[in-house]
Amino acid sequence: MWRELLSDPQVLRAYVVAKAGMLLLAGGATLVLARFVGPRVWYGYLAFVALMVLLTAVMLVLGLLARAGSRGESAAGVDLLPTDCSNEGSSEASSAGDIPGLGEMTEVVVPIEDAIDLHSFAPREIPDVVTEYLAAAHERGLQEVRLIHGRGIGVQRERVRSVLSSHPLVLEYSDAPVDRGGWGATVVRLRS
């Protein structure tokens, strides 16, 4: 994506214009600030200008390299694309369709353990995740599971417990022991 953006001359021009605008705004702010603080403020502005010029130069060089790369040649004019791309006589796979597993969607099986950390799920996903996890844990024969929702201010805890209070597989639930997460986790006993 960046390569395509940097290879577009209009994008590079917009980048340079934006940097110039930032320098003008910073210069105006420094001018006002220099009246109150003193002339030493200009040293900071000069450091800022140097940094912006350096970043702009790097982006321009990357843009030139990207433009050269999109044409198949390096900045020095050397051809980067091979002239013969055929795989004739080769035992290697010629496309992603020939490689097992690539180009196909495969289902990832996550093992059901006696605990699940809910931190990696979005808050709106929590009720569905808890419901599915409890069903899978029950199917696996687990009698007790631990739902790690974190301490925080209790929003996730209440969301988890609202699912548990009406779930048919749940016998009881409570805060986890201190050594297993305390009030940052909920231990759930499941029906046989």
Domain extent listing, the chain: 2-70, 115-190
Q: Report, as an integer, the average pLDDT of 154-183.
A: 93
Asked which of 3-17, 24-38, 74-88 is least confident by mean pLDDT, the reply is 74-88
Nearest in space to 10 (alpha carbons), one of 62, 75, 63, 52 = 63
Structurally, at CATH architecture level, domain 115-190 sits in 2-Layer Sandwich (3.30)
Give the model confidence (pLDDT) of 91-118 as tens digits: 444 444 555 555 565 665 667 889 999 9
Give the model confidence (pLDDT) of 138-165 as tens digits: 999 999 999 999 988 888 999 999 999 9
Percent of the chain at pLDDT > 90 equals: 31
Integer CA distances (angstroms), 88 to 91, 95, 132, 158, in order? 9, 13, 50, 63
Spatial separation of the C-alpha atoms in residues 46 and 43, rounded to whole Å: 5
Say whether pTM exceeds 0.75.
Answer: no
Q: How far is CA 50 from the centre of its chain?
A: 31
Helices (H) and strands (E) in the chain, counts: 5, 4
Confidence (pLDDT) at 101: 53
